[in-house]
Structure 1
Amino acid sequence: MSTAHDDLDNEHTILPSWERNAYAWTHSVRDGHIESRRMVTDGAIIDVILDGEPRFVLDLGCGEGWLVRALAARRVRALGVDAVSDLVAQARAAGGDFRLASYEDIIAGRLSLRADTVACNFALLGKDSVERLMPAVASLLEAGGRFVIQTVHPLVAGGDHPYSDGWRQENWTGFGAAFPSPAPWYFRTLASWVALFTRSGWHLCEMREPLHPGTGRPASVIFVLRRR
């Protein structure tokens, strides 16, 4: 079980780590080195978003911007925001609409726009930061809008650890590029995710578990939420 000191240390490490890893991450995504994304999860998040027939999608934690470009290719207007300046620069260089903004900016109400769909694709990494972000996302959605989250599936991502909430370390095994810095992320059980949605004012409308065609195991879990 993590302590308050652990939580603070790990939260403060997430963004600097991603700043150091921005170049490697961009090349891993664009060169197709991450098998689960290539075979399953990229298509899965696109399918869920398109099922809602969106007019305007806000991609929170957009990284190097692939999802915004994929939606634009399907004639869906999309905007990506990220707190890592190098990732935003990479995204803009490849084309599309991107802004530099952190979750703290969103929590403070400094991102003044509304979309009919907000997406977080493997971008909810912290503990306290995510818990504070969740209710704030409602201010970015039009009435009746959807909040779509794709994240690691606890069944697979748990590894050899006990099935309980806690901080984990991403060492980038199998990501194909030389990542200079490990990155902390906060593991949640399925029950913890659902409890977080409930206390943040969200109704879980749908949950999908995209399966890897080779292993038959979940490659991710996708939650579709609406405001209660």
Structure 2
Amino acid sequence: MTDEMLQDVAARWNGNADQWTHDVRQGYDTYRELFTFPAFVDFLPPLVGLDVIDFGCGEGTNTRRFAQMGARMTGIDLSERMIGHARKAEEDHPLGITYRVSSYSTDTGFPDASFDAVISTMALMDGPDFDATMREAYRLLCPGGFLAFSILHPCFITPGLAWQRNEAGIATALCVSRYFDSSTFTEEWRFGSRPADEIVQPFAVPRFPRTMSDYLNSIAAAGFRIGKIGEPQPSAQACEDKRFARWRDLAAFLLLVMAERP
């Protein structure tokens, strides 16, 4: 990982920040609202009274939700504009959250063993150095503290993903290819729940593909003891939207990992 690479990722997310914040707070991120966040909350142990750091907190929506669950929250993100939006929400409706502009792949500046938990929701797959991220998470945790994160499932969300559909246009299989292709690329997309007639600039999201073994071996190499893995399916309510039914029936969208610092 180079400083230039981190600067490029930061620049991409600074460019995404204003539209991203607007869209998330308007409820356009239906994957988060109906699936990825509820699944992560179900996966977590209680957070009440814990000192918790959120890696890749973005504009702070999930960080605020964790604070409302009783955690003493700190959020970090390498995007200065994202952190600006998070701080503004904290100023308007204080929950005692501290935000800092920092990459989770470098020394975040906090003392060793500062936190009871390191959590991250749908962010770690977008960072360039997962090995360094795990080492920093381990350093920040008290002995007995835990790491919990959610990411796109690396076995199914690959650079060559494509849906196979029948004559009615219904997805019948997920075609996975280029699983071992670790080439970095930038994906452009927008939230599918936005009104179709609204013209917005697509988000530019840097991707750093990894295999399942890349993730798990990095966690173990940092010194963690892996305790639980989750591959949740969307709820019946979420599957009323056919976009979610395919992730219930055909493949896993989400990977959840929990590990402990001995």
Query: What range describes the TM-score normalised by the shorter chain of this pair?
Result: 0.7 to 0.9
- Specify the alignment match of 1:226 in structure 2: 260
**Is 2:155 the counterpart of 1:155?**
yes
TM-score (norm 2): 0.74
Equivalent position amino acid for 2:179 in 1: Y
Tell me, yes or no, if structure 1 residue 139 matches structure 2 residue 139: yes
Determine if the alignment matches structure 1 residue 169 to structure 2 residue 170.
no
Aligned length: 221
Q: Which amino acid aligns with 1:66?
A: T
In the alignment, the residues of structure 2 paired with residue 31 and residue 198 of structure 1 have an alpha-carbon distance, to the nearest angstrom, of: 39
Deviations 1:140-185 (A, max 9, x none): 1111000111110123311154111412322124354834552211
CA shift for structure 1 position 51? 4.3
Distance 1:88 1:193, change over 3 A: same
Q: Which protein is richer in helix relative to its size?
A: 1
Structure 2 vs 1, CA of residues 8 and 57 (structure 1 numbering), >3 Å: closer, same or farther?
closer
Q: What residue in structure 1 maps to residue 34 of structure 2?
A: 39
Q: Percent identity?
A: 24
Question: 1:188 is aligned with what amino acid?
Answer: R
Q: Deviation per CA, 1:120-159: give whole Å up to 9, x if none.
A: 21222233x3322211211211110001111101233111
Distance change in 2, residues 1:52/1:164 (3 Å): farther
Q: Which amino acid aligns with 1:108?
A: D
Across the aligned residues of Structure 1 and Structure 2, the Cα RMSD in angstroms comes to: 2.6
Higher RCO (CA-CA < 8 Å; seq separation 6+): 1
What TM-score comes out, normalization by structure 1 length?
0.84
The CA distance in 2 between the partners of 1:155 and 1:101, in whole Å, is 31
> SS of the counterpart of 2:185?
strand
Pairing 1:1-228 to 2, within 5 Å after superposition: 11-51=6-46, 55-95=50-90, 96=95, 97-103=97-103, 107-108=106-107, 110-112=109-111, 114-124=114-124, 125-127=126-128, 129-158=129-158, 159-160=161-162, 161-166=177-182, 167-174=184-191, 176=194, 178-179=200-201, 182-212=204-234, 213=239, 214-215=245-246, 216=248, 217-228=251-262
* 1:38, distance to aligned residue in structure 2 (A): 1.6
Cα distance, 1:12 vs structure 2: 4.1
Per mean C-alpha deviation after superposition, the further-off stretch among 160-169 and 130-139 is 160-169
Residue 123 of structure 1 aligns with an amino acid whose one-letter code is A
Stretches of structure 1 lacking an aligned partner (at least 5 in a row): none
Q: Compare 34-43 and 10-19 and name the one that shifted more.
A: 10-19
Structure 2 contact 55–123 (Cα < 8 Å) conserved: yes
* Structure 2: 5+ residue stretches without partners: 163-176, 240-244
Q: What amino acid is the match of 1:156? A: F
SS of residue in 1 equivalent to 2:189: coil
